[in-house]
Structure 1
Amino acid sequence: MIETPRDAAELYGTGTPTREAFERLANRWTMLITYTLEAGPARFNDLKKQLGVSGEMLSRVLRDLERDGLVERRVFAEVPVRVEYAITPLGTTMCSAVHAVREWAEQTADAISTARATYDERSQAKPSH
């Protein structure tokens, strides 16, 4: 029998599986990589160019996603060797959440830009202490 956690700390505390899954999904590169790979497998340099991410960061996130079982790294015995990354069935379970965040970002982008401009104008108008 599975025991229900008694409080949020048991479910979302540092090092808990739920917290780690939440942090994986909340990573901006995870979101962008997942969204990109949903269209089909991609090579490292194609991902790097399309996402505008450094090679070091992309390597780190892809390795983490592979470790979590969300992305699969495929090596093809060709000359030169070809490596592709693909989303796994487990990784596709994130797609609905990624789409929801993408839709929210698209719907609120203008409002956020307006709010930032208003805040910046107010902040510049305040006398410094």
Structure 2
Amino acid sequence: MLAFWRASVNKRLVAALSMREMSDSGRRGSSSSGASLAQVSPERGESQADSRGGEETEKRGGAREGESCSISEEEWTIHRIHREACEAQKQMYVDPGSGYKVFTEFAHHRRGRCCGSACRHCPFGQVNVKDPALKKRFNSLFYV
């Protein structure tokens, strides 16, 4: 019984991640495929070729050419640590700036719904956050 439940949860997780990956690849041209959560959200620091002419149109942070990049080095460090924690299938990691433990996207997918706590890596768009003042801005890597 437990094995069946675990398999059905994993199938839902894979289906949700596959749908997200397909929508990401439609917006940004090509996307890397893989089984880990970190690969579903590829690092946006890589240049992407424009589908029309093959020119590079994106810079670090997903900013278009001519626009400034608003993602700080601290945010890139958080993204790297979070990606490594997801690849290792860890529930939490320690935030380098504050020392607090932060839930990973992997942990949120295992829960299956938004908890309403305005979590940094919420994959559900923070839909259950009741207070609008608590909702955070998405910086193309995570909520800040």
Could you state the TM-score of these two structures normalised by the residue count of structure 2? 0.24
Structure (1/2) with the larger helix percentage: 1
Structure (1/2) with the larger strand percentage: 1
Could you state the TM-score of these two structures normalised by the residue count of structure 1? 0.26
